[in-house]
Structure 1
């Protein structure tokens, strides 16, 4: 037994055999190999004869090691900076050794324990498992419950269960490695905090764990039972704040909730545990909650305003020793969605959008096609108008030039007759003036700036005044004070002007 006052060896009947006085701050047994006991104290390693006559053999400086043992033909060394695996040094431990081999874990190792072909390591992050060749093994289900918990010591019992101590008391891992049976202050523990490397197995299979206030001895064969954790049942159930009256059975049917009253609450119970105040329950609504609720004595659950979807309500039982049962399904829920939240509505909207898009695209395409036809018709009309204007100009100018040519020949032949020649020349001048007027009319008709009613009225007034000025015809114009600026097509202007022109001639 290593204490802060030294090392003591005691016989099976409690009589002192050997003592080594020393004022150590920390002390930890490293290994028992070939009747040699190695004790690490602060930064030194003490080697003792562990036979019938214990004695100090060697003392040397030493790098901190929390646990070391031989397993599967290799040397395993647990240190504050991790676990090391060394095949080369197997069977040949060296005092003061600094090279521990290959590092297989970075967790702080407090104790190593072989179990069959596995190596168990008590660490600052729970319990880690390793194969004989140094590979990390997948943890058992029970070990998942110890993640992030500091474990100081490991001991096996005669029933192949694994006992451990740490900063949350003592626990026992069942033989199937699925459950953890814990002990609390109600089980007469010296405290919930124990020391590392402070555990050993005594005669009769009794286990000893040292803590900050003393030592706890446990007789596993007579103390612990591996009875199953009690099952949990629904005690009361309210759906949409109305009591469920269809009977609560172990296998509840699927419950459907209206989205406007998506509320459910109730409570659970277990009939297999005598003290209800010591029971703990955790709830998880799959599809709604990301994690389990913390274990609490309150056996009630309540969920309000659930969004549309499918849910499974699970419960998990915990006893006073923090032993947790398997999750149990209480019931399944379906919250009906609104019609606009359903798949068929979404598909209908998508199909409607596609149809509307197609119709709009076709409409736009039709408008573009109609505009294109209209543009082509306008181009054709413009081309037709150009051909007409060119034909009119050709006819008018051609006829006038022909008359001028004929009159010119007549004038040439009548040079000896001044009076007749003068008349011919006046006719030629008149014809030329008419040609100019005709061209002016054509140019006016072609100018798009004149495609308005007010410009047309002004031109008609000017033309009639000029044309009838030398005649005896009395011309009167009846126009409003303000002629509206209404658009007129070139064809309409031309036709109206020809009518007015014909009236002036007649």
Structure 2
């Protein structure tokens, strides 16, 4: 006979081969008792006792359930966090693009206002003066020549803006070619000799719009300073490529000046230095009386 406490408490008869099977027991502590029954009488002093415990399945234990819940919440939190971080990164990128676009719009607006606006205003004023001087042909002709000159300057300014905005020109080779073209055109009325020392073959160096624009405007202003103040006969421009940078030199053989006294240039030299610095480069100017002037622009790429 056998009896299982905490299970079926009834005494049960063993099979003829003294084998018994106990299956599908729920988790818990059990005591199995085997005893002798003869005939119809139980003999407790002849009994055998065996205690055992059936553990809950792993997936039913409280700590496993808690761990599963925590893991699930952690995965959900990580997925949600990753989603919102990605969304935030996209929003920041879009905001950065929008800010860059807005900055570029403002810059173009300023350039057009400064160059085109002032040029158109000058033409309008000269036109009014010319109208009043129509009875005096010589004076009227003088004003018309000024209007013609201002119109050409206006077209040049517009051409500069278009060149800067064209992404096809975002290379050092394109910048060098445009500087050469502008210089030859600019110095022609002053009968200045010019020389260009460029690499035979430019490397495929990409330049941002900001770098191209600021370098070109600095070259442009340097040439204007040479025309107004240098009293020179020759201008030389050279470009050398270096690992991760290029250097542009503008040299004239004019009368030079004392670098400790730059009042004649107003804020021009400081503005050029700020412009190159804003693009990440370095601007230097070297000069002395009767020694000419050397402008050095070094720009990382």
Q: Which has the higher helix share?
A: 2
Give the TM-score of the pair, scaled to structure 2.
0.50
Give the TM-score of the pair, scaled to structure 1.
0.32
Larger C-alpha radius of gyration, 1 or 2?
1
Greater relative CO, 1 or 2 (CA 8 Å, sep 6+): 2
